[in-house]
Structure 1
Amino acid sequence: MFRILSIDTPTLGDRSYLVHDGSAAFVVDPQRDIDRVLDLAATERIRITHVFETHIHNDYVTGGHALAEKTGAAYHVNAADPVSFARVPIRDGDVIDVGETLRVRVLATPGHTFTHLSYALEVAGVPVAVFSGGSLLYGAVGRPDLLGPGHTHDLVHHQYRSVHRLAELPDTAGVYPTHGFGSFCAATQADAAASTIGAEKRANPALTRAEQDFVADLLAGLDAWPAYYAHMAPANAAGPAAPDLSPPRRADADGIRASIAAGEWVVDLRHRVAFAAGHVAGTLNIGLDGSFATYLGWLIPWDAPLTLLAETPEQIAEAQRELVRIGIDRPAAQATGGPAGWVADGDPATFPRATFADLGRVRHHRTVVVLDVRRNLEAGEARIDGAVHIPLHELPRRIGEVPRDEVWVHCAAGYRASIAASLLAAAGHRVVAVDDDFANAPAAGLPLDHR
């Protein structure tokens, strides 16, 4: 008898796993907020005895070190990883017994990183599951380019061979990756919620295509990854402590105004509809309803003071939890309520929202700037004829390239457009945020440039 329980972090596109036999348990790739793992272990009435890392993560700060310290569990990390904390060094071929019935076999699977490991779970001598980290994903593989272009060629070929090594496991063995549910660590995305080795043999390009074809297609499909990734591996190699999730100090209207005047980041967590209808001039809108931590971490200068604005204390707490997962530990301040209490004097600022149909009608009557803030691969497939293209993650440093005319900004569905509109409005631009699905652009009479 054994159970595999998933602990999902959908905003980062990752999963951690708790596996137990009714008494002893191990955890694979825990996130920074380890209270979720501890609560689940308490609910299951089991004791965590081992913690495993598949790799030194690039997309989040691990909770592995803190979890092992909290529980007294053995912390298993590749012997070849240059870490500065005490760990149980493991290597390819090692076997670790967990409790009386579970056995974990270590498999070297380089590709996402050079020292990446996967873990095959054996019960009664039979492999029943593999925890594949950033190696074999659902219908995809982990990115091979996160260590820099000088290593990508070697890593992509390692990745192909590692996936084929995992394919030697029984077809019935379940596949449990860490990445691939929206994470930028995944080379591509698939919609599957579960998989097996047999299913991947039938559908995964790494297992159905020749190596040279797989490599060419994977490399052609890679796009930018979030800037905060550069800080994750050093943080993880240092053995991060458990986070402090206590509330930051409160900011009043004068304090918010002073932070904005000082050039600090003041981020409004409300939905883009509410933000457009009224906000503090100079604030940025990165809503909790989307990939909040990913885009804030991608855009903000690292270690910049950060003030969070939200409707409720619960939303502030949710944002803090999201942020500690990427190493932004202590916001400088926070305020709750709404613009009426945040604006020191005068009325809240606003900007219009629109649809692609609105944009089509406007372009018949006057010239406006259309700014496309989707990523390069998205815009490379099709974009509105005559649109200026600046990916959102490049906008802060390229904002001077945006003409000083009226700017209609769009993305694929509205979330990123609102972030961009708030950046432009804070810089003094007249903006309209297109809050609409890009698929509606052709029907609105907006000709597309297919590149």
Structure 2
Amino acid sequence: MPDTAADQQHAAPLPGVTVRVIDTASLGDRSYLVHDGTVAFVVDPQRDIDRVLDLLETDGVRLTHVFETHIHNDYVTGGFALAAATGATYLVNADDQVSFDRTPIHDGDTIDIGGRMRVRAIHTPGHTFTHLSYALSHGDEPIAVFTGGSLLYGATGRPDLLGPEHTDALVRHQHASAHKLVDVLPDTTGVYPTHGFGSFCSATQSEATESTIGQEKRANPVLTQNEQDYVRDLLAGLGAWPAYYVHMAPANAAGPGAPDLCLPARADAAELRRRIEAGEWVVDLRTRTAFAAGHAPGTLNFGLDGSFTTYLGWLIEWGTPLTLLGETAADVTQAQRELVRIGIDRPAAHATGGPQDWTPDVAVSFPTATFADLEQVRHHRDVVVLDVRRAEEHHASRIHDAVNIPIHELVRRLAEVPPGEVWVHCAAGYRASIAASILDAAGRKLVAVDDQFENAAKAGLHLVGPDA
């Protein structure tokens, strides 16, 4: 069973039941397997359902129900496939428009599971109009609530993913839904959200890893602010969200099947060159340090050690054939697992090894540097400073005269990068490495700044902006 930093499972203590928390750190989401030692239910499973199946076998329990809190916008669900594989009942809001057979569930419905667990559906619109939360009781007292994209740790799900025409209504629904939960559930109720661990589905981010209704009442802005202040502050803080999100809800409404994680066909160096010349994406999965030191010309770097899925899914034109390059087959398999979660099901090809195996020509490279190096070089010659952070990050604090083209806009705005030697930076190096590979493939002379942005001021660079 996968057990990497991106795929961790752990148990959360609750009286009379076990909650298995299945983290998908790469997308900032959690799924939950809950059981009483005999029977189990799952909330919001990810696409790679083998993780759930392995946990069922490990714990020796039988899955009877699969619940969806909402039609997800940031990943392809595994709910339909998991229910098909196990014979479990698949519960989706009766008001959601889907094209598959499901068991419809309504606000207020209660489902008995195994005689000792009861799950009650609570309509909590805000992230979507049909969003449901699920309160779990063991005996007569609610002990947990699975809140999906509604009440998160110190935050709420963002209300703008269904389009600007719905945002105002949804953000006000989100405020009311959070208050509804705290009105009907005791303070001791454990809160188990799906989003909020780095997901762009969360309006803001929190470092918390567990919470209760009582803790959220004391600290969550949605519960400490009045509606007007909450709406104003939340909407002011919303930024861009990944472009691939537009493909997730349609895929989920269609009932996605189980993914195929077998390795795609192997490509040699000549085929890789043909694919690059045809405009396909050939993606090097190695770290940014390894890529900068040497890579096949025209390849792009999305390292598995960063937010690989989010940024590849955000930048690639949907449907572009994709070939994966990894040092080992395990790297390619890991990348496939990440990609199926957002609906990129079958890469066109793969290759393993290193640059010497991936190009019929000589490998190319580009230099890396720190912000201290940038401060020094600006004394000697003019260079272009390209900031690929999001617009709100750039506005808050930026290097004087830096050009801001957010990473998710760079491919279509390459012509806007000023002529000259480009020093590209982000907040910590990962996005800069992606941008550097795009610039390198376009033939630009560049230096990738692999450094923490907080070091820019320490290096003596002139920063401007309200947070400078």
Instruction: Pick the TM interval, shorter chain.
Output: over 0.9
The reply on whether 1:186 has 2:180 as its aligned counterpart is no
* Alignment-derived partner of residue 355 in structure 1: 370
* Alignment-derived partner of residue 305 in structure 1: 321
Of 271, 289, 310, the residue aligned with 1:294 is: 310
| Superposed displacement of residue 343, structure 1 | 1.2
| Superposed displacement of residue 293, structure 1 | 0.6
Of 234, 242, 255, the residue aligned with 2:258 is: 242
The whole-number CA distance in structure 2 between the counterparts of 1:116 and 1:7 is 21
Of 119, 122, 125, the residue aligned with 1:110 is: 125
Of 19, 22, 29, the residue aligned with 2:37 is: 22
The reply on whether 1:321 has 2:337 as its aligned counterpart is yes
Which aligned segments of 4 or more residues in structure 1 are displaced greater than 3 angstroms?
none
1:188-267 equivalences under 5 Å are 188-267=204-283
The answer for unaligned runs of 5 or more in structure 1 is none
* Alignment-derived partner of residue 166 in structure 1: 181
AA partner of residue 140 (structure 2): G
The answer for unaligned runs of 5 or more in structure 2 is 1-15
AA partner of residue 38 (structure 1): L
Of 30, 48, 53, the residue aligned with 1:33 is: 48
* Alignment-derived partner of residue 75 in structure 1: 90
SS at match of 2:347: coil
1:269-289: per-residue Cα shift (whole Å, max 9, x none)?
A: 000000000001110000000
The reply on whether 1:50 has 2:95 as its aligned counterpart is no
| Superposed displacement of residue 376, structure 1 | 1.2
The whole-number CA distance in structure 2 between the counterparts of 1:376 and 1:22 is 49
SS at match of 1:159: helix
The whole-number CA distance in structure 2 between the counterparts of 1:385 and 1:281 is 32
| Superposed displacement of residue 59, structure 1 | 0.1
Of 329, 335, 339, the residue aligned with 2:351 is: 335
SS at match of 2:439: helix
| Superposed displacement of residue 263, structure 1 | 0.8
1:130-176: per-residue Cα shift (whole Å, max 9, x none)?
A: 00000000000000000010000000000000000111210000000
The whole-number CA distance in structure 2 between the counterparts of 1:12 and 1:150 is 26
1:19-67: per-residue Cα shift (whole Å, max 9, x none)?
A: 0111111000000000000000100000000000000000000000000
AA partner of residue 146 (structure 1): L
| Superposed displacement of residue 444, structure 1 | 1.3
The whole-number CA distance in structure 1 between the counterparts of 2:395 and 2:91 is 42
SS at match of 1:409: strand
The whole-number CA distance in structure 2 between the counterparts of 1:159 and 1:67 is 29
| Superposed displacement of residue 123, structure 1 | 1.0
The whole-number CA distance in structure 2 between the counterparts of 1:137 and 1:125 is 25
* Alignment-derived partner of residue 175 in structure 1: 191
| Superposed displacement of residue 428, structure 1 | 1.0
The whole-number CA distance in structure 2 between the counterparts of 1:233 and 1:40 is 27
The whole-number CA distance in structure 1 between the counterparts of 2:349 and 2:431 is 24
User: Share of identical aligned residues, percent?
Assistant: 70
The whole-number CA distance in structure 1 between the counterparts of 2:22 and 2:452 is 31
| Superposed displacement of residue 404, structure 1 | 2.3
The whole-number CA distance in structure 2 between the counterparts of 1:376 and 1:187 is 16
The reply on whether 1:270 has 2:286 as its aligned counterpart is yes
AA partner of residue 241 (structure 1): G
The whole-number CA distance in structure 2 between the counterparts of 1:293 and 1:124 is 41
CA RMSD in angstroms, aligned pairs only: 0.5
AA partner of residue 146 (structure 2): F
